[in-house]
Amino acid sequence: MRQGSDDDVRRFFQLLRPPELADLLEHVAEEDRVRVLRLMGVPLASDVLREVEEPEKEEILEDLTPREIAEIAAASKSDDAADLIAALPPGKAEDTLGKLGREDRREIENLLRYPEESAGGIMQTEVVKVGSDATVEAAVEAVRGADQERMGEIHEVYVVDPAGRLVGAVSPADLLQAEPGTPVKDIAEADPVSVPVTLDQEKIAETVVEHDLAAVPVVDERGVLVGQVLHDDVADVIEEEATEDIARFVGADPDEVHGESISRAVRSRAGWLLPAFAGGLLVTFVIGSAEALLREVPWLAAFLPVILGMAGNVGTQTSALTVRGLALGRVRVGPAIRRQLVTGVLLGIIFGLLLFAFAALRGGGHPALAGLTVGVAIFISMTVAAAMGVSVPLLVHRFGFDPAVAASPFVQTANDLTGAAIAILVTRWLLLG
Amino acid sequence: MRQGSDDDVRRFFQLLRPPELADLLEHVAEEDRVRVLRLMGVPLASDVLREVEEPEKEEILEDLTPREIAEIAAASKSDDAADLIAALPPGKAEDTLGKLGREDRREIENLLRYPEESAGGIMQTEVVKVGSDATVEAAVEAVRGADQERMGEIHEVYVVDPAGRLVGAVSPADLLQAEPGTPVKDIAEADPVSVPVTLDQEKIAETVVEHDLAAVPVVDERGVLVGQVLHDDVADVIEEEATEDIARFVGADPDEVHGESISRAVRSRAGWLLPAFAGGLLVTFVIGSAEALLREVPWLAAFLPVILGMAGNVGTQTSALTVRGLALGRVRVGPAIRRQLVTGVLLGIIFGLLLFAFAALRGGGHPALAGLTVGVAIFISMTVAAAMGVSVPLLVHRFGFDPAVAASPFVQTANDLTGAAIAILVTRWLLLG
């Protein structure tokens, strides 16, 4: 690409679609990216830039002038334009907004007021709408007048009352099937599913998935239509939320997947590791208090890690499944607890018997008694871990917190503590009477 | 609902949408579900039943007769009808197919031949298509002739050549914007993005998300249009795949989230726990071999769980982020390894210093030396755990396996082993010179 003339490069662009060009741009050497983007021209650059991922997007925006960014923003859908401005440092954002037309500027500033993960933060303001007294013909005219190049594909024409409140929705296919003279409200779906402008994006995704929508209208507190969220933005949200759930579950910042700074990554992970560490320190006291016992039965020290580790594994399995079930709305409290308890007991029996057999065959003093001790200890520890793995996320959820964030470190700390205590108590009880 | 007359119940139905009725049906007592579904009538029952989740769906299908299921299938989209038949036991499936019209039966049997998670397994065969010589007017006629009630919303009209091969696509909104006499191929997108009928659903979702499609056409090996996958099915796939990733990462069957049988859950979890357990047994040998050392420095036993636990936590964090990054296609090998190593070293330093301080202040013989020992041990263990957490999933992925399945137990087992060995070696080295 470096050797080709500008015309060669432009001809090459025509062979590819915007997402492919975005991939290509991410792999081009940093110093060539802006040159390539400039060769695309504004409309194509707008389509390509919205598909470029972090951190490459930020690097490109650094190298573009405010005037160039303003031109690209003016050719983009309102939500993509707002995302561009939001990714700029404050001074450059101000400069770029200053280069935009008054209308575009007002619209973008308006969108930037909403939280990034709310309906207002992800919606586009471009909609096709008609009054409630319009005919099918008028609705067709409204579609004809819309700039699909800029606003994206049209999935719904919204029907609004004189105050701008949403009262209906009709698809272009419905319009094609209807007679031109029919009043549009006769064929429109009345009171279509909509979302409030303040709704969190996770709830929007739930609504869209539940009702199989290609586009969901966004309304303000008075019911006035202010924008729409399209299926492709919803698909992005579902992926993003799944990444968040996974990252939070292991105590990492979701942005780590997208390459955020190492110092932020370390801070967020260290914060999450701290409760587990504190639990580990308490474990040192629990085991330390049994120093006399460990002198008497030194093999117990060798078995503690496998007992604590297996309890930790079952606890992690159980809490991960419970957290995901809660996210999908597929958990009923009673049956979930019963299920996980029975599963934990069965797994405890399996690995209790295996550990008993292993310890009994391993030799050393009183091998059968040693086997019984560690077998019973791992059985109780795994059962307790399963019980905590299901009940802690449910409790955290019941009190209105995100179970993915809170459940895991608590479960882990509690498991380490109870596992160590159980192992020591069982040993005392079985060996020392 | 039990007390109301049938007419009351029917009136109540009209107030709700199918997804809400499906929720309601899931919460109705088992013995009343079929009565309620029968009251809905066939078209509504078809819309509602596709939204009902497992295991309630299976329970309802058990209570319906083959004739009733056939009536519902005949009123459903082809993919939903095939899903209904696939959920039946073989004998009942055969009976139900026998009650269907020849055309419907052939279509469903055809769909059932494809793997459940392939394009053929999730596509609907209902499409609106026109020949490549058609005018816009003819395309509009094709839309008018389509049964949206049954086939779902129309997002694309496909253009096919005389052999049935896909050559273009045009949206209803594009048709509204075009002049009636225009040849449809002049306004259609040429060579639209399509997926082969054998493609895995995860790849379909990637394609649809990358290209922001509302519907993706499915073609056979000759390029002949055989069906389409709509955005709502893609959203389901994205959620399903995220659930699979999470469940596999902790070694559980993804169906556990949807309430599969406990015996299957126990089998799949036990299988995954086995390598971790085997690693734990090896750890007993490693620690057992240091019995003399443990007699000399009994506090080491108390610190082993926190050292192994913290290494395990960092390993889990690192491998979860790497697995998710690989699933999203956001991982570049070199930078990812560098990042995670630096993060692991920094976390190792933080918790190494903390553990040093704690152990040094805790007292006992040689507290400063004890602190130095466990501090160095946790630092090395956490660093090694981070290195394995990033490199094992990358290796597993490189060799073509699913990193979510394979990475986690290996990382965990390896961490336990190296953590124990490191702690013992460091203690020997620092205390016994």
Q: CATH classification of A6-117 is 1.25.60.10, yes or no?
A: yes
What pLDDT is attached to residue B228? 96
Quickly state the pLDDT bin for A433 (edges 50, 70, 90).
low
Quickly state the pLDDT bin for A165 (edges 50, 70, 90).
very high
Chain B residues closer than 8 Å to A347 by CB: 266, 269-270, 273
CB–CB of B288 and A302 under 8 A? yes
| Average pLDDT, integer, range A14-25 | 86
Dist CA A331 CA B363 (whole Å): 48
What pLDDT is attached to residue A325? 86
The shortest CB-CB distance from B350 to any of A152, A154, A270 is to A270
Residue B181 distance to chain A (closest CA, Å): 15
As beta bridge partners, residue B143 has none
CB–CB of B362 and A284 under 8 A? yes
Residue B91 distance to chain A (closest CA, Å): 30
Q: How many residues in chain A?
A: 433
Q: Which residues of B362-397 are buried (b: 16+ CB within 10 A; e: fewer)?
A: beeeeeeebbbbbbbbbbbbbbbbbbbbbbbbbebb
* CATH superfamily assigned to domain B254-431: SLC41 divalent cation transporters, integral membrane domain (1.10.357.20)
CB–CB of B238 and A234 under 8 A? no
Q: Are B193 and B213 within 8 A, CB to CB?
A: yes
CB–CB of A309 and B235 under 8 A? no
Residue A184 distance to chain B (closest CA, Å): 15
Residue of A304, A347, A361 for testing the chain B interface, max B β-carbons within 10 Å: A304
Residue of B140, B177, B179, B310 for testing the chain A interface, max A β-carbons within 10 Å: B177
What pLDDT is attached to residue A3? 66
For A243-289, write each residue's pLDDT tens digit: 888 888 788 888 777 766 888 889 888 988 898 899 889 998 898 88
pTM of the model: 0.81
From the CB of residue A413, how many other CB atoms can be counted at a distance below 10 Å? Answer: 20
* CATH code of the domain made up of B128-231: 3.10.580.10
Residue of A224, A77, A208, A220 lying closest to A158 (CA atoms)? A224
Q: Are B222 and B165 within 8 A, CB to CB?
A: yes
CB–CB of B302 and A314 under 8 A? no
Chain B residues closer than 8 Å to A365 by CB: none
Chain B residues closer than 8 Å to A251 by CB: 313, 317
* CATH code of the domain made up of A128-247: 3.10.580.10
For A416-428, write each residue's pLDDT tens digit: 888 899 999 998 8
* CATH superfamily assigned to domain B6-116: MgtE N-terminal domain-like (1.25.60.10)
| Average pLDDT, integer, range A207-211 | 90
The shortest CB-CB distance from B210 to any of A19, A154, A354 is to A19
CB–CB of A305 and B416 under 8 A? yes
Q: Are B342 and A261 within 8 A, CB to CB?
A: no
Tokens found for residue A247? 């990252």
Residues 6+ apart with CB under 8 A from B111: B78, B79, B82, B120, B121, B123, B125
Regions of chain B short of the pLDDT cut 70: 1-4, 259-260, 363-365, 406-407, 433
Residue A2 distance to chain B (closest CA, Å): 23
Q: CATH classification of A256-431 is 1.10.3720.10, yes or no?
A: no
Q: State the complex-level ipTM.
A: 0.80
What is the three-class DSSP state of B99?
coil
Mean pLDDT score of chain A: 89
What pLDDT is attached to residue B151? 84
Residue of B214, B209, B212 lying closest to B171 (CA atoms)? B214
**A65 pLDDT exceeds 70?**
yes
Residue of A149, A261, A321 for testing the chain B interface, max B β-carbons within 10 Å: A321
For A101-146, write each residue's pLDDT tens digit: 999 999 999 999 999 899 999 999 999 999 999 999 999 999 999 9
Q: Are A225 and A165 within 8 A, CB to CB?
A: yes
**A158 pLDDT exceeds 90?**
yes
Q: Where are the domains of chain B?
A: 6-116, 128-231, 254-431
**A225 pLDDT exceeds 80?**
yes
